[in-house]
Structure 1
Amino acid sequence: MIRTAKPEDVPAIVAMIRELAAYEKAEHEAEATEGHIRRALFCESPAAFAHIAETDGRAEGFALWFLNFSTWRGVHGIYLEDLYVRPEARGRGHGKALLAELARLCAERGYGRLDWSVLDWNTPSIDFYKWLGAVPMDEWTGYRLTGAPLSRLASEAAGPEAAERPV
């Protein structure tokens, strides 16, 4: 069964985030606490959303997503930040069901696309996504600013001359 996440799902979501980080060999990067996830998903105006794959009351997978926007199409889309199914629950259709629910939301709300990223070495997921009909965005390279480079760039905008600088 796929359902919208509830506040009581936060501990399971955080546990699965940690499991996903371990699978992706990046456990040291998973800093989110239950407080972070609870605030992100259940504040007055949430910017992130989650769905749970559940069997007999046990959370076996999750999809955490947020809205993006296509300037070319002029409509929102969904960006799937994380899709994870616990190893013992794989092969039961949870991943497909979570993606199908997000696709349903896109169709129902008039969103133009469903986007996500996958690590190059994660061939089981890549094969699954291709089987669904998803296409890789081979012409695009993702970039990220974090840590010291992000802080350094932010401090440039905070200076008194920032208002005079052209954008």
Structure 2
Amino acid sequence: MDIDEVDRAILAVLEREGRISNAELAARVGLSPSPCLRRVRRLEEAGVIRGYRALIDPAAVGRGLRVFVGVRLMRHKHADVVAFEREVVRLSEVVYCHHITGTYDYLLQVEVADLPAYEDFHANRMANLPGVAAVNSYVAMKTLEGRTDRTPS
């Protein structure tokens, strides 16, 4: 799909403000409401816009501790990888699971209430995942928001 500068402007606004009205979005990107809505729908149908979400404060819902977890698998046979991936995404504490290159095979973002909750997760949930050879945990002390003026590429 060809994405022009107007589409990029629409995406930049929606990335920051997913609940903006179509009229306000159209005004910000210099279109009238009907063509703006057509462009948004086209971006949605093409899968460029994959969805809209609410950003929830993890601490407000009892998940104030964020831990990044590097996971290395014992073997990399297809069946082992599939088994690990099938189980890891079922863990409610796992917010994101990225398959990566480097020292670890996966990088997880885990959110729990506090350090004792993470200790329990690590000992009783991570330890039961199939094929895990090594786990290394990094506790986030602070999270900074990314730039809000970026343009999608």
TM over 0.5: no
TM norm structure 2: 0.32
Higher RCO structure (Cα 8 Å, ≥6 apart)? 2
TM norm structure 1: 0.30
Greater radius of gyration (CA): 2
Task: Determine which structure has the larger helix proportion and give its number.
Answer: 1
